[in-house]
Amino acid sequence: MADPTTPLSRASQAIPWVLRVVWAALPFVAGPLFGDALSESDNPFRSGASLALWIVWALTLAALMVPRAETLTWIRIAVPAAVPAALVAARAAADHDLGAGTIVAGVACAAVAALLVLQATIGEVFINGSSYGDEWRAPLKPPGPVMVGPLPLAWAAIVAGLATGPWLLLRERWVLGVIALVVGIALAAVLVRGIHVLTQRWAVFVPAGLVLHDGFALAEPMLFRRRTIDYLGPAPADSTSDDLTSGALGLALELKLDAPVDVAKATRGEPAKLEPLHALLFSPTRPGAVMRRAAERKLV
């Protein structure tokens, strides 16, 4: 089993700092692009749009410096939003005399930040910023059906909903702007709450064993005590263990117990019922990191 202090592991731990540096540099790299795109707008719109961009950038930079489950939700919404913003600015700036290198650099900086913020390591670092005492949390992959459709659509709706109202108000379209602002904030509140639920899904190593905290699969968090764990490792393709991955894509881990444990699975519209479980599958975002931690804690 690999030592978690290997160079590869240290490189992974550096990703949050690389993201912070890239995001901090964004106004300087992409600033000329946005400035040129707004150069022909009237002064109130240009000033208001610039102020809004600075506020979002500053709030996101602050969130990047405070690793928590709550700030993870914010940065994974705000940072990728820089990409469509940069592309819109690039389209406007393409009609001016701004150099191609400046345009490409601005879009590339936003794209690099977006790719970094979606890395599994970022989720792991931020989730563990909210951990307690001697525990380590491994984020679980989003359910496959959510990942490939509803999640990107929800993100787009949040960004569009929060941007449309201010844009209309800056264009002095007061009635439509107020309506869009109210609707956008209400829609974003609902969707952000739904996305934030995904950051509350963990496999947690605690002194007593392993806890699965997954509201999609379980009615309540379940502790599998150290003494009951018989096997933890990659799941074979033909595994017959109870599938608690919620349809997540990619490699799953299999947990086998030396005796059945009663578990309350999540149900929709019906009271949860206890079912005996002898083995189960779950899908952490970084299975290798989970196996290293399990080895450290002598669970495998």
Strands (E) across the chain are located at 136-139, 202-206, 209-213, 222-225, 229-234, 242-243, 253-264, 274-282
Distance CA 157, CA 192 (A): 10
Helices and strands, number each (H, E), in the chain: 9, 8
Q: Are 228 and 211 in contact (CB under 8 A)?
A: no
Q: What is the dihedral of CA 293, 6, 130, 72, to 10 degrees?
A: -120
- Give the model's confidence band at 68: pLDDT under 50 very low, under 70 low, under 90 confident, else very high: very high
- Give the model's confidence band at 3: pLDDT under 50 very low, under 70 low, under 90 confident, else very high: very low
Rg (CA), the chain: 23
Lowest mean pLDDT among 94-103, 215-224, 251-260, 275-284: 94-103
Query: 């602050």: which residue's tokens?
Result: 62
Distance CA 145, CA 123 (A): 20
Q: How far is CA 181 from the centre of its chain?
A: 25
Confidence (pLDDT) at 42: 87
Give the pLDDT confidence of 245-291 residue by residue, as tens digits: 999 999 999 999 999 999 998 887 777 788 899 999 999 999 999 99
User: pTM of the prediction?
Assistant: 0.91
Domain spans of the chain? 1-130, 202-296
